[in-house]
Amino acid sequence: MRAYIPVVPSQIEVLLREGRFRFAQAFVTTRLFFEENSEVDEEEREFELSLLAAQASREIQESQESNGYVLAVNLTSVQSGSESGFQVELLSEIEWSQVDAVLIAQSEEEELTWFASQEVQDNLPSWLTSEN
């Protein structure tokens, strides 16, 4: 199952360094989200979920001017717990190998920049600088 986890750069750094990190929740196509977005295709639903996660990242940082950082990950069936709204509880740590990409919303526009997991190491220093 594809999931979108709102993060801050320091969490990405720990995940990359340690190989795993414990997050509480992730945005996924829950029953409620599907019911409210049944008229759009899967790609559009995933885009909407990633935008919600980017907004949640800004809220974590307590700044709407901050970049919104999102991990696009593949969850195993045993990692997802109960649904709450458009999110699912995460029952175990996320492994770095589950990360497909880091998505970054750099403005309020509905636009995300995509970085493959292999590109994260090279870009992380600038993301950490922007967090501080």
**pLDDT tens figures, 12-57:** 999 999 999 999 999 999 999 999 988 989 999 999 999 999 999 9
- pLDDT value at residue 110: 79
- Residue 22 forms part of a structural domain: yes
Cα–Cα distance for residue pair 93/96, rounded to 1 Å: 10
Report if pTM > 0.85: yes
- Residue 127 forms part of a structural domain: no
% residues pLDDT > 70 (the chain): 97
Number of domains the chain is built from: 1
Q: Which domain holds residue 86?
A: 2-117
- Residue 92 forms part of a structural domain: yes
Residue 131 reports pLDDT greater than 70: no
- Residue 129 forms part of a structural domain: no
- Residue 42 forms part of a structural domain: yes
**pLDDT tens figures, 74-117:** 999 899 999 999 999 999 999 999 999 999 998 767 789 999 99
